[in-house]
Amino acid sequence: DADFIACHHPVFLERYELLDMAAEGATFLLNTELERDAIWASFTVASQRQIIDKNIKLYCINAAAIAERHGMGKRINTIMQACFFAITDLMPTEPAIDAIKQAVASTYGRKGRAIVQQNNEAIDDALAEVYPLNGNWRVDSTRKLRPPVPDTAPEFVQRVTGEIIAGRGDLIPVSLLPEDGAYPVGTAAYEKRNLGQEIPRVDYDLCTHCGKCAFVCPHSVIRSKAFPAELAVEAPPTFQHQQIKGRDYPEGLHISYQVSPEDCTGCKLCVDICPIRDKSNVSHKAINMVPKAPSGPEEKDNWTFFEQLPDYDRRLAKIDTMKGAMLLEPLFEFSGACLGCGETPYIRLASQLFGDRMVVANATGCSSIYGGNLPTTPWAANREGRGPAWNNSLFEDNAEFGLGMRLALDQQRILARDLLARLNGELDATLVEDILNADESDEAGIHEQRQRVAALKEQLAALNTEPARLLLSVADSLCKRSVWIIGGDGWAYDIGYGGLDHVLASGENVNILVLDTEVYSNTGGQTSKATPRGAVAKFSAAGKPTAKKDLARIAMSYENVYVAHVAYGAKDVQTLHAFIEAESYDGPSLIIAYAPCIAHGIDLEDNHRQQQLAVDSGHWPLLRFDPRRAEKNHNPLHLDSKPPSIPYREFARSEARFNMLWRSHPEQAERLLSEAQHEVSERFHRYQQLADLDWSETEGPVMKKTKPEGANDA
């Protein structure tokens, strides 16, 4: 029997009967943006009845508005805590608030005086703005708890996944669980968490169809589709679309950028990245955040219609452009990652480009938690049933695990080709020859090979012999598979580095994506070898005393490994091209992707600005090393970012992970900063030297330039 219950997010009112455990005369604190006269109607029938029957005292606060007003983003913990002490008799309010402010100073003091001041002012406003909700209540609501998943979901999702989401997983009988442990994909689409109280809306009078908003969305809730205009005739009246811009697309083709309102988290990254502003009102962009409440039902209908539109033909999309790539269907959607997550856009991009033929080995870490299958998984399949095959082994053996997948798939392909050649006399000879000599280097070639294999399966089924049945079981391996090994820096730089090095040295055709947050993010922000010098993290409370490991340069030393350093918020097209080039390279590929994280002590609304600062300061040079260029007497290394244009200090002082040290040990911070600045300059100089080598000489590369100015600046 609880004397006090608080609801920190109004969506919980429609998901749980929060007052079931309330005692007689209990106090209920609700964080809501609704006006006073609309709050009572937001309760379910059962909640209204319990409030009346148990004589529950209601208090309300718009904590989100207070947090926004004081620059705290969506952080409302101190606001709600202040309200708790203000409306309960646990202890006198004044000493309680003094104690909270002391706790704020000790907890957040290392992040700066401004953070402490913001919290203190928010606490004062909370005391002034929390209010009791009184009235002559009667049960007049028509609301009931929303089912955990829609009634249109498959039976397994309703009976198993939905019950886990609802918190009743321990009541599921064993007989309902899959015997082989295989769970359906795409189940995150049924969750509809409704976290965002604001959602983005596109202004088509300004929109240039650049696709950046869809590209940066961490949860894949902004999608674009291109379709014939006549398909929009039966669209809802508020559905927005217009003639697609650009010479690459035919007349009469329309485009729509649509948001899924129930899946949007309100992170605002789409607005932050948008480059187009209204000249008469510079605060207004081509995409802007609007309150969800008024337009939510309309946008839900728009999303339903949008989903029914056909996907654009992959063979026609200009996938080397941002607009074209974003027309591809993402097969990684609606994950449970943090708001503004810096990792998920990279994974979603890979799923768009290669998801229909993708096999994933995922190291344990953040990406395996939001990418796992319980209760839901964001990995999805397309309308043909094709999608990524996701696997997770141990933390330490992911590289070897992925290599094993590659070898197994190759062995299946060898077996299939051998059987196909042996059955040549019993099959269509032209079909067999076309399959064996297929060019699958682009989407058109992959599509044609799938059509051939489908025809082959029909012929094999008709033969119905033992060799034919054996070939039928491995026939799909005649189509190209794309193996991806994904993990964080804790895996790639530290615990799994031995395996990673083994895979890079193997020469096998695997693609490795390192989501570099520069700490062990999933376990709470511990130091890794990717952590930069001077950053404060767990196990480096006095600042990391050593330099960040240069994984890219180590991998480049093999000379037959494709290597890329990318940061999508700084140069999105370079990221796109790196993914396309890496996958097309017939050998090991390594993409090291900069991923801002809450462990950096930043507001993830500033995700893109932090990436740009990292690049501009030289902390994160953008580069691509493609061994295929050397075969043509071209330099394999291409630097995609310019020499550092701002001091390293400007980047470091913008993040709390560095600022903590300035407050606790300023002399130590200055010393480590000076060393880090020297390392950054020297590292870029080394890369510049390699990129400036003249490879046109037949006898080998020749140095063209000398050391650039300022390379040794401390």
Percent of all residues in the chain with a pLDDT value above 70, rounded to a whole number? 98
- The pairing of strands 222-228 and 131-132 is unpaired
Question: What confidence tens digit (pLDDT) does each residue in 324-350 have?
Answer: 999 999 999 999 999 999 999 999 999
Nearest to 492 by CA among 582, 555, 574, 409: 555
Tell me, what's the pLDDT at 55?
A: 96
Q: Would the pLDDT of 2 be above 90?
A: yes
Question: What confidence tens digit (pLDDT) does each residue in 660-700 have?
Answer: 999 889 999 999 999 999 999 999 999 999 999 998 876 66
8 A C-beta contact, residue 510 and residue 411: no
Secondary structure of 171-229 in HEC code, one letter for each residue: HCCHHHCCCCCCCCCCHHHHCCCCCCCEEEEECCCCCCCCCHHHHHCCCCCEEEEEEEH
Tell me, what's the pLDDT at 109?
A: 83
Q: Would the pLDDT of 707 be above 50?
A: no
- Average pLDDT on 172-179 reads 93
Q: Would the pLDDT of 116 be above 90?
A: yes
- Using CA atoms, how far residue 65 sits from 60, 62, 104, 316, 564, in Å, is 13, 6, 20, 46, 42
Tell me, what's the pLDDT at 699?
A: 64
Going 255 to 260 to 261 to 265, the CA torsion angle's sign is negative
Mean pLDDT value across the chain: 94
Reduce the DSSP state of residue 477 to 3 states and report it. Answer: helix
- Average pLDDT on 81-88 reads 95
Question: What confidence tens digit (pLDDT) does each residue in 31-76 have?
Answer: 999 999 999 999 999 999 999 999 999 999 999 999 999 999 889 9
Tell me, what's the pLDDT at 568?
A: 98
Tell me, what's the pLDDT at 296?
A: 83
- Burial readout 447-462 (b: 16 or more C-beta within 10 A, e: otherwise): bbbbebbeebeebbee
Q: Would the pLDDT of 451 be above 70?
A: yes
8 A C-beta contact, residue 502 and residue 400: yes
Tell me, what's the pLDDT at 293?
A: 82
> What pTM was estimated for this model as a whole?
0.93
Question: What confidence tens digit (pLDDT) does each residue in 176-229 have?
Answer: 999 888 889 999 999 999 999 899 999 999 999 999 999 999 999 999 999 999
Question: What confidence tens digit (pLDDT) does each residue in 268-282 have?
Answer: 999 999 999 999 999
Tell me, what's the pLDDT at 697?
A: 73
Q: Let me know if 666 is exposed, middle or buried by CB neighbors in 10 A (0-12, 13-18, 19+).
A: exposed
Tell me, what's the pLDDT at 714?
A: 32
Question: What confidence tens digit (pLDDT) does each residue in 243-272 have?
Answer: 999 888 988 999 999 999 999 999 999 999
Question: What confidence tens digit (pLDDT) does each residue in 471-527 have?
Answer: 999 999 999 999 999 999 999 999 999 999 999 999 999 999 999 999 999 999 999
Q: 482-691 maps to which CATH number? A: 3.40.50.970
- Average pLDDT on 606-629 reads 97
**Which token pair is 413?**
């392909």
Tell me, what's the pLDDT at 713?
A: 39
385 residue type, one letter: G
Reduce the DSSP state of residue 543 to 3 states and report it. Answer: coil
The pLDDT confidence band at residue 1, using thresholds 50, 70 and 90, is confident
Identify the H or E element spanning 407. helix 398-422
- Average pLDDT on 568-585 reads 98
Tell me, what's the pLDDT at 698?
A: 60
Residues facing 564 on adjacent strands: 591, 624
Q: CB-based contacts of 705: which residues, under 8 Å, 6+ apart?
A: 688, 689, 692
Tell me, what's the pLDDT at 113?
A: 86
Tell me, what's the pLDDT at 182?
A: 83
Q: 2-132 maps to which CATH number? A: 3.40.920.10
Identify the H or E element spanning 637. strand 637-639
Tell me, what's the pLDDT at 704?
A: 59
Tell me, what's the pLDDT at 87?
A: 94
Nearest to 445 by CA among 381, 373, 361, 357: 357
The pLDDT confidence band at residue 373, using thresholds 50, 70 and 90, is confident
Cis, peptide link before residue 375, omega less than 30° from 0: yes
**CB 275: neighbour CB atoms within 10 A?**
9
The pLDDT confidence band at residue 435, using thresholds 50, 70 and 90, is very high
- Rounded to a whole number, what is the largest CA-CA distance in the chain? 92
Percent of all residues in the chain with a pLDDT value above 90, rounded to a whole number? 89
**CB 247: neighbour CB atoms within 10 A?**
5
Tell me, what's the pLDDT at 274?
A: 97
Tell me, what's the pLDDT at 363?
A: 97
8 A C-beta contact, residue 115 and residue 75: no
258 residue type, one letter: Q
The pLDDT confidence band at residue 706, using thresholds 50, 70 and 90, is very low
Q: 194-329 maps to which CATH number? A: 3.30.70.20
User: What is the chain's length?
Assistant: 714
- Average pLDDT on 109-136 reads 92
- Using CA atoms, how far residue 415 sits from 423, 472, 480, 642, in Å, is 12, 11, 15, 48
Residues facing 515 on adjacent strands: 488, 593
Q: Please report, for the chain, the start and end positions of each structural domain, with discontinuous segments joined by +.
A: 2-132, 194-329, 406-478, 482-691
Q: CB-based contacts of 63: which residues, under 8 Å, 6+ apart?
A: 8, 31, 76, 79, 80, 83, 126
Tell me, what's the pLDDT at 248?
A: 85
